[in-house]
Chains A and B, each alone.
Chain A
Amino acid sequence: EVQLVESGGGLVQPGGSLRLSCAASGFIFSRYWMSWVRQAPGKGLEWVANIKEDGSEKHYIDSVKGRLTIFRDNAKNSLFLQMNNLRDEDTAVYFCALDQLWFDSWGQGTLVTVSS
């Protein structure tokens, strides 16, 4: 059974940094693209970033380029999102998801709150 468990969320001031983690199990992690998808409170879903199986290719939505960095450690079956220079509008629940063009497995999410 596929399991994705996010951690690392919390309260951070504008301009601050946070690193999210996603621990994967139940599938061969190194064979799949992975994505981060976020959901602001009471709002819809927004795809944020994804990364190729071997980490050689990464893509982002324009609003996070240069501030958020996706990376992975296949030896530890883990996905990460380094979040720098955070803004109020980055406040959201961040989900990691198995990316097969569609997202057939999701974690429960971790809440990031950017506020002074």
Chain B
Amino acid sequence: DIVVTQSPDSLAVSLGERATINCKSSQSILYSSNNKNYLAWYQQKPGQPPKLLIYWASTRESGVPDRFSGSGSGRDFTLTISSLQAEDAAIYYCQQYYTTPLYSFGQGTKLEIK
């Protein structure tokens, strides 16, 4: 089984500043045949279902603001919010789908506004 671990568990960032969330998988989730990293990122606000932000580690979902970006390869990945807005306060999750059709999520990172 692939275990996905996020860091930090929580962070507080000032408005307009950069926020960075990390995700590390227990083994590489880069599929050599297509050179794609099998990782997605989600945002979840209280009382709401998760919202897809990014898939293939760096492809932004339609309608997601370009201040959200994903990077990384192999085992180490990062979600960056370039200029934090008040509405970005949420819990963020990464998800690996390398072991498709079985999946696993990271434990979540709570992002607060400082």
Say how far B35's CB is from chain A's closest CB, in angstroms.
16
Task: Kindly identify which residue among B38, B50, B106 contacts A103, using a CB–CB cutoff of 8 Å.
Answer: B50
Number of interface residues of A (CB under 8 A): 22
B49 touches A106 (CB 8 A): yes
Closest residue to B91 on the A side, CB-wise?
A: A44
Give bound CA distance, A47 to B51, whole Å: 15
Inter-chain contacts of A33 with B (CB < 8 A): 101
A101 touches B105 (CB 8 A): no
B100 touches A47 (CB 8 A): no
Chain B's interface size range is 20 to 34
Give bound CA distance, A109 to B48, whole Å: 9
Closest residue to A61 on the B side, CB-wise?
A: B102
B93 touches A104 (CB 8 A): no
Say how far B24's CB is from chain A's closest CB, in angstroms.
16
Give bound CA distance, A84 to B48, whole Å: 27
Indicate whether A46 reaches chain B with its CB closer than 8 angstroms.
yes
